[in-house]
Amino acid sequence: MKSAAASVTMSASGRRRWGNDVMSPESRSALMSRIRGKDTLPERRVSELLRRRGFRWESHVPELPGRPDLVFWRYRVAIFIDGDFWHGWRFPAWRHKLSPFWQAKIAANRARDRRTHARLRRHAWTVVRVWEHEVRQDVQRVADRIAAALQQARATNGIIRHRNPLP
């Protein structure tokens, strides 16, 4: 196994580099450990507005594909609040800036998102995808969009009285 010190080089600007990274492995590890997979700031902001409107939901339901961030069982609506980087918003425009590892990682995330969306739709779920930048720009508009999807699903499906995970 190669030690971290052995792979340190100097960049043209005189900064130390660890492989393709400008951060030491310890610094990168500390940074990555603070990235949350659930209860992120965008999720909390959207949740707060929906709660004020009287909606109730479950979060990160493991029985459904992709563990949607918000699940409205009564209306069969699944909400995903996706991070721009991790889920590749406009990925083709900035893909070339990433190392092969991150290109493959984000491409796989996007493919998994498409499969999850298709599987939920096949089982008559309404799927709403919200991007992190949309929440930052206008969280009220995001809440309006989700509320409209819930109203549409209620009109289409009625209220579902039992919790029915996918087979």
CB atoms under 10 Å from CB of 124, counted, come to 11
pLDDT digits (tens, 9 = 90+) for 45-65: 999 999 999 999 999 999 999
When divided into structural domains, the chain yields a total of: 2
Q: State whether 44 and 97 are in the same domain.
A: yes
Residue 99 sits in which domain range?
A: 36-157
pTM: 0.78
Q: 103: exposed, middle or buried (C-beta count within 10 Å: 0-12, 13-18, 19+)?
A: middle
Tokens 């450990």 belong to residue: 33
Are residues 75 and 14 located together in one domain of the fold? Answer: no
Q: What is the mean pLDDT of residues 65-83?
A: 95
Selection from 5, 10, 136, 120 nearest residue 73 by Cα: 120
Per-residue model confidence (pLDDT) at position 47 = 96
pLDDT tens figures, 117-151: 999 999 999 999 999 999 999 999 999 999 999 99
**Both 86 and 112 in a single domain?**
yes
**From CA 137, how far away is CA 153, in angstroms rounded?**
26
The answer to whether residues 71 and 27 belong to one domain is no
- Could you identify the residue written with the tokens 């969306």? 117
Distances 39 to 47, 52, 123 between C-alpha atoms, Å = 10, 17, 26
Look at residues 77, 86, 105 and name the one whose alpha carbon lies nearest to residue 68. 77
Residue count of the chain: 167
In terms of domains, do 65 and 17 share one? Answer: no
pLDDT category, 4, cuts 50, 70, 90? very low
The CATH number covering residue 149 comes to 3.40.960.10
**Is 30 a member of any domain?**
yes
Classify strands 70-72 and 58-59 as parallel, antiparallel or unpaired.
antiparallel
Determine the Cα–Cα distance for residues 152 and 87; give it in Å rounded to an integer: 26
Provide the pLDDT for residue 6: 46
166 occurs within a structural domain = no
The span from the CA of 159 to the CA of 153, in Å, is 9
5 pLDDT more than 50: no
